Amino acid sequence: MAVTYRLKDHPDVTILFQDASFQYPEMLPETERGGDRIENYSAKDFIKWMWSTTYLPSGDKKIQWSTIEMDGRKGTGSFMKSTARDGHIDYGYVGFVRGDPQDSTRKPDLQVYVVSYGNMTRGYPRMTPDELKALAEHIVNSVKHR
C-alpha cells in the first residue's frame, strides 16, 4: 500500500510513503549481476535496486548513504544526484527499513521516497538539494507506528 503527494508550492517535489511488506516476486531486488532475486535482502540492497530500476534509473548517479531510524527501527537512507544525458539534474532520497515477515502488521517494511524533478518546476522556485534532503529526513524521523 502506498500514497503519493506532490507539494503545491514545489511541483517539482513528489513524496511517496509505502508499506512495502508485500512485494510481488518481480518486485524483489536482483543480485548485482541481475536475474536472480534476493529473498532476504537488506535495506541497502532494496535501495540500490530501486535506484537502478525504478527511481531515476538513467543518468550519472552520485549516492550518499546514511543510517536512519524510522518507526523506531534502524534502516538505510540514501540521497542521490542524477545528471541526465541532456544535462538536467534531479535529486532524490530513499529511506527504507526492513520489517518482520512474521509480524508485518506491527513491523512492516517501510519506504519513504522524496524526489525533485528539475523539469517539473512550472514557474515555481525549485527546492534546493539541502531543503529536499532535510524534508526527507524530517519525514523519515516522524514515521511512527500508530
Element (H, E) at 55: none
Question: How many whole angstroms separate alpha carbon 79 and alpha carbon 55?
Answer: 12
Strand ranges in 1-146 using DSSP code E only, listed in sequence order = 2-7, 10-19, 60-70, 73-83, 89-97, 110-116
User: Quick check: 25 pLDDT over 50?
Assistant: no
The domain tally of the chain equals 1
Q: Could you tell me the CATH number of the domain that includes residue 44?
A: 3.40.1000
Q: What is the mean pLDDT of residues 89-106?
A: 88
Q: What is the mean pLDDT of residues 51-74?
A: 86
Question: How many whole angstroms separate alpha carbon 132 and alpha carbon 48?
Answer: 20
At 107, list the grid cell.
Answer: 513491523
pLDDT digits (tens, 9 = 90+) for 27-58: 555 555 555 555 667 888 888 888 887 777 77
Look up the domain containing 64 and give its range: 2-142
* pTM assigned to the model: 0.85
Contact 3, 101 (CB under 8 A): no
Q: How confident is the model at residue 102 (pLDDT cuts 50, 70, 90)?
A: confident
